[in-house]
Amino acid sequence: MAFFAFWDSDGNGRFSPQEAPAAGVRLRVGKELPTTTDQDGWLVQRVVPGPVAVYQPRDAEGASEHPVLAATVRSGEVLVFQLALASDGMISLAD
């Protein structure tokens, strides 16, 4: 799975060329430990085929999480998602 996070500065939920990549966004993919997007807003995570949920940890301990998306990954498939980051820090799946 691959994720591109961006600052949704116009609030429309879609990536626009003037919007900046969001580096350092924490995500937890499946049962893995949280990890962050790189300086270009990308996170690539290898997953086993089957259902996968993605969460945004809301605190340092990971005790509170915001569900971002759920998907089913088939063998050999690569899913790519755009994630819109709002000014309040909340992530949503981009259109």
Query: Which tens digits make up the pLDDT trace of 40-89?
Result: 999 999 999 999 999 999 876 657 899 999 999 999 999 999 999 999 99
Q: Which of 11, 23, 35, 15 is nearest to 87 (CA)?
A: 11
The whole-angstrom separation of Cα 10 and Cα 31 is: 33
The whole-angstrom separation of Cα 84 and Cα 86 is: 6
Query: Which tens digits make up the pLDDT trace of 7-20?
Result: 999 999 999 999 99
Q: What is the per-residue pLDDT for 62? A: 57
Q: Is the pTM of this model over 0.85?
A: yes
Q: What is the per-residue pLDDT for 61? A: 65
